[in-house]
Chains A and B, each alone.
Chain A
Amino acid sequence: MRRLLRRCLSASFTLVTDQCASTSHVHEAEQSPASRDPTVDSPGEQVAPHTVDAARDAVFEREVLACLSDVTRYARSLTHDEAAADDLVQDTFLLAYRGYHTFRAGEDVRRWLFTICRRAFLRDRMRSSRVVTTDEGTDAELDTLAAVTGHAAAQRAGEDMLFERFDLGPAIEHAIAALPEVFRRAVVLVDVEGEGYEEAAEIESVPVGTIRSRLFRGRRLLQEQLLDFARDAGYQSANTPPSITAASPTVIRPRRAPRHASDAQMHAAESTT
């Protein structure tokens, strides 16, 4: 069983590194076969026969280790446990170092590290047999409409100005931590770390439609929790709910520059989720 697990994990990591396999890295020739196997049981206990290469290590330190803060935050969002997150961060950088010859110059280092971090996290969880299954959130539009309906109810109750008038920082962190894992991962990648749908899908190794569904479900749950929090805290707007009888002069723009995927792609996504 353990051998089978190792084979699966090895194949899993190969999927990550194969994306960059055609890249000719300046230090590729120095990698030994042993150094390409990052899925050892305890990376810290293994001494891979790397040839010391000061130039490569300097680049690694400058460009990869510089992401320590981002990787730590992401690892903590995955583990919910600081000590476990530190272990995960260490494993992530070890795996990154051993697979650095496969990294393609010009690619997003942070995204590459997030992918490794997520895979390492799932590997560890699989080992400890704590796999949690959950509803995937398969109807993105339904979740969007539910979020709007939830807002409409809050609007009628005069509770919808909470983001402008309430310090929700701690409540948001708590609400994100309470989300079921797959939804939390999507919300963290897109809404906290600022990745686009495609980039988050790449990190999660799932189709874009899956990330979109998970994200929309996660946002809906997040909104419900925050509105509940505001109600429990006795929040109610002192103002009359905004009038809906006259056009508002507010100009709403996308928060990110539109990617302008083809409308055909968009409609295809809408019809499949």
Chain B
Amino acid sequence: MAPPAPIDCETAVRRLWDFLDGELGAMSNAEVEIHLATCARCVPHFTFATGMLDAVAASRRVPGDLEPLRARVVAALETSGFRGTRT
């Protein structure tokens, strides 16, 4: 396989989200990695985007007490024949 070709900054930042999401092909991924290793201009954009995605992922919360809802769901399921072990 041919080595990754150099890419310019615009090409690199066009691939920003695909790269961070792990959705690029192997060659495209390698091209971005090599570009970032040598381009101080693009790195902050990728760092910022990573920070945003990390912050959004960290905003995920486990809903509070779900026992009342669970009991309600189980009661509804029982009308369809469900017989759970906790009911």
A residues near B, CB below 8 A?
Answer: 35, 43-52, 54, 57-58, 60-61, 65, 68-69, 72-73, 76, 86, 89-90, 93-94, 97-98, 140-141, 144-145, 147-148, 151-152, 154-155, 160, 163-164, 168-169, 172-173, 176, 187, 190-194, 196-197, 212, 215-216, 219, 222-223, 226, 242-248, 250-267, 270
Residues of A within 8 Å of B20, CB to CB, are 254-255
Contact A265/B25 with A57-B83, A152-B45 known, Cβ cut-off 8 Å:
yes
| A90-B73, A266-B28 given; A163·B66 CB < 8 A | no
B residues 23-59 in Cβ contact with A at 8 Å:
23-29, 33, 36-41, 43-59
A-B CB pair tally, cutoff 8 Å? 208
- Decide: B39 and A65 in contact? CB cutoff 8 A: no
Q: List 25 A-B contacts (CB under 8 A).
A: A47-B81, A49-B81, A52-B81, A57-B83, A60-B84, A69-B66, A90-B73, A94-B77, A155-B44, A160-B44, A163-B54, A169-B55, A176-B56, A192-B59, A192-B60, A194-B57, A219-B52, A242-B44, A244-B40, A247-B40, A248-B40, A252-B46, A255-B53, A258-B24, A266-B25
Chain B nearest CB: distance from A219 CB in Å?
7
Report how far A250 CA is from B42 CA in the complex, Å. 11
Question: How far, in Å, is B21 (CB) from chain A's closest CB?
Answer: 6
Interchain CB contact under 8 A, A173 and B59: yes
User: Which label, helix, strand, loop or mixed, suits the secondary structure of the B interface?
Assistant: helix
Q: Are A76 and B56 in contact (CB under 8 A)?
A: no
Contacts of B86 in A (CB 8 A): 61
Is B8's CB within 8 Å of the partner chain A? no
In the complex, the answer to whether A261 meets B14 with C-beta atoms within 8 Å is no
Q: If A72-B63, A259-B22 touch, does A191 touch B16 (CB 8 Å cutoff)?
A: no
B47 to chain A, nearest CB (A): 6
Do A68 and B81 touch (CB < 8 A)? no
Taking CB atoms and an 8 Å cut-off, the chain B residues in 2-22 that contact chain A are 10, 13-22
- Distance in angstroms from A143 CB to nearest chain B CB is 9
Given contact pairs A47-B80, A72-B66, A90-B73, A254 touches B19 in the complex (Cβ within 8 A)? yes
Question: Are A257 and B25 also in contact (CB < 8 A) when A90-B76, A160-B48, A169-B59 are?
Answer: no
Known: A44-B76, A52-B83, A144-B14. A258 touches B59 (CB 8 A): no
Interface residues of B (CB under 8 A from A): 10, 13-29, 33, 36-41, 43-63, 66, 69-70, 72-74, 76-77, 79-86
In the complex, the answer to whether A256 meets B43 with C-beta atoms within 8 Å is no
Question: Smallest CB-CB separation from A255: which chain B residue?
Answer: B20
Contact A48 B80 (CB under 8 A): yes
In the complex formed, the residue of A with least CB distance to B84 is: A61
Contact of A260 with B29 at beta-carbon distance under 8 Å, contacts A51-B81, A73-B61, A247-B39 already known: yes
Min CB gap A75→B, angstroms: 9
Considering the chains assembled together, what is the distance between the CA atoms of A258 and B28 in angstroms?
11
Give the Cβ gap from A262 to chain B, nearest Cβ, in Å.
5
Nearest chain B CB to A193 CB, angstrom units: 7
Q: Are B22 and A254 in contact (CB under 8 A)?
A: yes
Instruction: Give the Cβ gap from A163 to chain B, nearest Cβ, in Å.
Output: 3
